[in-house]
Amino acid sequence: MSSPYHWRQPLLGSLQGQLQLATYLVVFVGFTGASAAGLWIGQRNLIQNEVRLLRSSADSVQECLAAGGNDDRFVQQELLVHSSGRTKLWVEKSDGALVLPESDHLQVSKAAVRLTMAANPKRVVGLQRVLDLENQRLLTELVQRFPDGSHLWIHHEVSSNQKALSNYLALMILIWGSCLVITLLTVSWLVRRIVQPLEQLNAASAQVTAKTLASAQLKLEQAPTEVLQLGRTYNALLERLADSWSQQRQFVSAVSHELRTPLTIVQGYLHRTIKRGNNLSEDQVQGLQTAEDDSIRMRRLLDDLLDLSRSDSGKLAIAKEPVRVVDQLEQVIDLARPTLQRPLNLQLPEDPIIRDRMVQADPARLRQVLLDLIENADKYSPADAPIQLVLRVNAEGGAIDVIDQGIGIPEAELSTVFERFQRGSNAPEKTGSGLGLSVVKLLVEGMGGTIGVSSHLNQGSCFTVRLPR
């Protein structure tokens, strides 16, 4: 069985659906009520018109009978004058005898007369009944009781009125249906027109990024006043966010730039002290080495921040040139090994011709990418677990695998691992800022390459950098 959610959610879960449903209900109830009221009024008017005609005929007969006496022939003649094919008047005498307006061209149904009188056994003057007989509908009434005990009766055939009423009902249904369709179409158009600016606002919001904040303005020309006001508020919010983002970017860039030089000096001083400190104790050397490693990581973090800031402002410079990957890998190993407490292995193609093929890259940026990937592998790998660099070269370019035996990345998080400030849910506390991999992706794509990752929990990860020839 299918869930009702599939049809309820689009209908009731959106503003457009709610507005349309509410309006449809109001219109339907309104039209139905108006049609029912019109039908009732029409039927009532038809009956009242017939009653007035009957009253008029009955009054005339009553006056004539009151003036003419008890002569049956006179009474019959007077009844005949005021009777017709649809209207019949007769007199019930005190002894039960009937005086009927019968002639050669006018016949009175005895069954209709008996049914009329049976419907009013107590002979209540003015009591009206509507009776069905032989495919006919009759409006009946006891009009008058005379002093001698006789009664004046009347009945009127209203079947033709029912036909007219049916035609009126059909016309009402036609008009009702046409007006309902036109109204519903109009309502749908109006609701769509009201909701469309909100959909534009939603679409514009979905496309807003840090780079498009300054230019992502919502333009609404025709919309309700409330929606226009919402659009103006939205545009003002974007302007404030753009200003805030610009100030933040400038602050990060300025701070990172100002800190790089002191850190470089500190790093160089620490390195020289360690190399020349023959009289230093083992604990002192270890402390200085730790300080040097931390200064290196801090400088790389500042470099990452600078690269992100330059990328956001469109000022990130990446110069591509033919690069021999093997040379860059050897330099990276020389730079990384002193800071690692684990083996760092390099696997190259056996064929020297293949191994020496060039790729298009920025040498400095390529080294930065590989050092960041090695540092990332070092953070999340157990002690003494090796890190392996594998170079693969083909006709389309080169690929470098950085393989570790660390904690791995949950499968559900692989698609977001390169986003800013993204850290694995299984990562130890205080293991990074979440910027390194986003900068790596930025630099690799800036060199015209791609980066991918495969991982298994508690087995390790493999980051693959692909560069074109």
Angle at 395 (CA atoms; ends 394, 399), nearest 5 degrees: 35
Q: What is the pTM of this model?
A: 0.48
> Smallest Cα–Cα separation from 442: which of 277, 270, 283, 307?
307
Give the residue ranges of DSSP H helices in 338-446.
352-355, 363-379, 436-446
Give the residue ranges of DSSP H helices in 69-123.
72-82, 110-118
Q: Is the pLDDT of residue 212 over 60?
A: yes
273 pLDDT tier (thresholds 50, 70, 90): confident
430 vs 462, more confident: 462
pLDDT at position 1 is 43
Do 151 and 144 meet the contact criterion of CB atoms below 8 Å apart?
A: yes
Tokens 């299984």 -> residue: 426
Report the chain's terminal Cα–Cα distance, integer Å: 56
Mean pLDDT over each residue of the chain, to the nearest integer:
76
- Report the C-alpha gap between 199 and 196 in whole angstroms: 5
Give the tens place of pLDDT for each residue, 89-129.
888 888 888 888 888 778 788 888 888 888 888 888 888 88
Q: Is the pLDDT of residue 164 over 80?
A: no
Tokens 């109001």 -> residue: 26
For the segment(s) 15-166, the CATH number from 3.30.450.20, 3.40.1260.10, 3.40.1390.10, 3.30.70.270 is 3.30.450.20
Find the helix or strand (DSSP H, E) in which 415 lies.
none
Strand partners, 130: 139
Give the tens place of pLDDT for each residue, 330-361.
888 888 887 787 888 888 888 877 778 888 88
Look at the alpha carbons of 264, 270, 271, 272 in this order and tell me if their dihedral is positive or negative. positive
Do 57 and 124 meet the contact criterion of CB atoms below 8 Å apart?
A: no
What lies within 8 Å, CB to CB, of 138 at 6+ separation is 112, 115, 116, 130, 131, 132, 155, 156, 157, 158
Mean of the pLDDT values across residues 414-429?
Answer: 74
Q: 318-468 architecture in CATH?
A: 2-Layer Sandwich (3.30)
Q: How far is CA 315 from CA 56, 277, 306, 311, 360, in A?
A: 102, 42, 10, 6, 20
Do 27 and 186 meet the contact criterion of CB atoms below 8 Å apart?
A: no
Per-domain boundaries in the chain: 15-166, 225-309, 318-468
Angle between the 225-276 and 159-206 helix axes, to the nearest 10 degrees? 20
- Report the C-alpha gap between 170 and 163 in whole angstroms: 10
Q: How far is CA 400 from CA 254, 359, 390, 397, 467, in A?
A: 34, 11, 6, 10, 9
Give the tens place of pLDDT for each residue, 357-374.
888 888 888 888 898 888
Q: Is the pLDDT of residue 2 over 50?
A: no
Q: Is the pLDDT of residue 236 over 50?
A: yes
Q: Is the pLDDT of residue 247 over 80?
A: no
Angle at 61 (CA atoms; ends 114, 65), nearest 5 degrees: 95
Strand partners, 157: 138
7 pLDDT tier (thresholds 50, 70, 90): very low
Q: 225-309 architecture in CATH?
A: Orthogonal Bundle (1.10)
Angle at 333 (CA atoms; ends 274, 380), nearest 5 degrees: 90
pLDDT at position 463 is 92
Q: Do domains 15-166 and 225-309 have the same CATH topology?
A: no
pLDDT at position 93 is 85
pLDDT at position 5 is 43
